[in-house]
Amino acid sequence: MTAIKVAAFNAENLFERPKVFNFKDKYFGDEIMQKISNLKSILKENLYTQNRKDKIINLHKELKEYIYIREDRGKLFKKRGWKIVGVRANGISDWDGSIEFKKAKYSDMARKNTAKVIKSVDADITCVIEADNRISLKAFDASLLNYKYKYEMLIDANDRRGIDVGVMSKYNFGIIKTHIYDRISNKRVFSRDCLELEVKISEDKSIFVLVNHFKSKAYDPDGTSNAKRKMQATRVKEILNESYDLDNDLVIVAGDLNDTPNSDALSPLTSMDKMFDVLELKFGNDFSKRWTYHYNSFEQIDYLLISEGLKRYFKDSGVERRGIYNLKKLTTNSDGDVSIENQFDTVTHWTNQASDHGSVWVEFDIY
């Protein structure tokens, strides 16, 4: 019999993050993202009228703490030394470049608290959401996890900010597939990737893991995020049905799906007959025990969904939330005298919390 533990964790601040995503109140980040979108639209214009040039300068002044504009060909700006004094280009044909996000520095304590969550869960396979690159995963394991994992995998995906999905594992990988090129009606399906890996837990048994980070509800100026998540959920369902015998294969869909179990957007995936939410297997419909994220309310938006073939080996599951700041306050009863949960004593401020997500884990006895 082999005891296997698998976890999914949106580490959020495990590595450097764009400054625009580093606000406690996500409203401010959304507002800045809208301004960046406005600037991007103006920069694509064929003709920069004086009014448009003024808007470019004013938006750049507002946003320069969060972005820089890289000029690859030609010049967008007039400069005097390092100071920008005007717009040189008369339209998009006069220059070529891109908007790049400036990174915020993470604190050492935030990194240590992230490591504390991962060590507390003590999974054999950890699916990491919001990681920079494979080398960063390896360095984090070496410096803060004491070489807990021998293997790491992450493929640069579709998010140009470098917010990718990856896996750290005690077991070697077999087949690895990426879905960054999947399209429906010429629209790219996955905001990051649906990273599909075979994890070889023994000579004759493998667990197949599909790691995801679906489109967020935040920053949705055109109101398409629900449809985007539904397209992603539908595509994951297709991959499961096309590639696996769910009655017998050991399959897990892991990650931050950015919506609740009863949402219409996730329904193609969460309503599948032969896929099961490990937190529902443990806690039923008691969402007071299933929540993984709190903004305005307690919600489960992080998942480990397992196949019928893997369900027969199910032993236990849960959520490690002690890396979340203010957990004691969030879980104190209405009388204010009993705290159901408390964060790690090293989590003293939202800037050094491990993440604003809990880590979902599941344990199996595989024979």
Q: How many helices (H) and strands (E) does the chain have?
A: 10, 22
pLDDT the model gives residue 105: 61
- CA 257 → CA 43, 217, 319, distances in Å? 32, 10, 15
**pLDDT exceeds 80 at position 26:** no
**pLDDT exceeds 90 at position 125:** yes
**pLDDT exceeds 80 at position 27:** no
pLDDT the model gives residue 51: 96
**pLDDT exceeds 60 at position 339:** yes
**Cβ of 1: how many Cβ atoms within 10 Å?**
7
Segment 169-184 mean pLDDT: 97
Q: What is the pLDDT of residues 229-248, one digit of tens each?
A: 999 999 999 999 999 999 99
Q: What is the DSSP letter of 94?
A: G
**pLDDT exceeds 60 at position 14:** no
- State the average pLDDT for the chain: 91
Listed by start position, the domains of the chain span: 2-16+106-366, 26-104
The pair of three-digit structure tokens given for residue 358, joined into one six-digit string:
């809990």
**pLDDT exceeds 70 at position 136:** yes
Q: How many Å apart are CA 225 and CA 123, to the nearest integer?
A: 32
Q: How many Å apart are CA 123 and CA 308, to the nearest integer?
A: 21
Task: Work out the pLDDT band at 250, boundaries 50, 70, 90.
Answer: very high
Q: Which DSSP helix (H) or strand (E) runs through 153?
A: strand 151-154
pLDDT the model gives residue 43: 96
Q: What is the DSSP letter of 152?
A: E
Specify the amino acid at residue 225.
S
DSSP-assigned letters across all residues of 284-321: TT-HHHH--EESSSEE--EEEEEEHHHHTTEEEEEEE-
Q: 197: Cβ–Cβ under 8 A, 6 or more apart, which residues?
A: 153, 167, 173, 174, 175, 176, 177, 208, 209, 211
The percent of the chain in helix, strand and coil, each rounded to the nearest 5, is 30, 30, 40
Is the CB of residue 243 less than 8 Å from the CB of residue 251?
no
Q: Are strands 250-256 and 206-213 parallel, antiparallel or unpaired?
A: parallel
pLDDT the model gives residue 101: 85
Q: Which residues of 247-280 are buried (b: 16+ CB within 10 A; e: fewer)?
A: eebbbbbbbbbbbbbebebbbbbbebebbbbbbb
Confidence (pTM)? 0.80
Tokens 């969550």 appear where? 117
Segment 73-83 mean pLDDT: 90
Lowest pLDDT segment from 2-6, 9-13, 245-249, 288-292: 9-13
Q: What is the pLDDT of residues 190-230, one digit of tens each?
A: 999 999 999 999 999 999 999 999 999 876 767 889 999 99
3-state secondary structure of 62: helix
Q: How many Å apart are CA 209 and CA 127, to the nearest integer?
A: 9
pLDDT the model gives residue 25: 62
Judge: domain 2-16+106-366, CATH 3.60.10.10: yes
The pair of three-digit structure tokens given for residue 311, joined into one six-digit string:
């369900």
**pLDDT exceeds 70 at position 158:** yes
pLDDT the model gives residue 29: 74
pLDDT the model gives residue 222: 75
The pair of three-digit structure tokens given for residue 313, joined into one six-digit string:
């080996």
Q: How many Å apart are CA 242 and CA 258, to the nearest integer?
A: 24
**pLDDT exceeds 60 at position 256:** yes
Percent share of the chain, pLDDT over 70: 92
- 170 exposed, middle or buried (CB, 10 Å; 0-12, 13-18, 19+)? middle
**pLDDT exceeds 80 at position 303:** yes
Rg (the chain; Cα; Å): 22
Segment 16-39 mean pLDDT: 75
pLDDT the model gives residue 18: 67
Residue (of 95, 108, 115, 5) closest to 53 by Cα position: 95
Is the CB of residue 155 less than 8 Å from the CB of residue 178?
yes
Specify the amino acid at residue 69.
I
Residue (of 225, 226, 184, 191) closest to 211 by Cα position: 191
Task: Work out the pLDDT band at 292, boundaries 50, 70, 90.
Answer: very high
The pair of three-digit structure tokens given for residue 191, joined into one six-digit string:
């905001």
Lowest pLDDT segment from 55-64, 216-225, 227-236, 351-360: 216-225
Q: What is the pLDDT of residues 273-283, one digit of tens each?
A: 999 999 999 99
pLDDT the model gives residue 296: 87
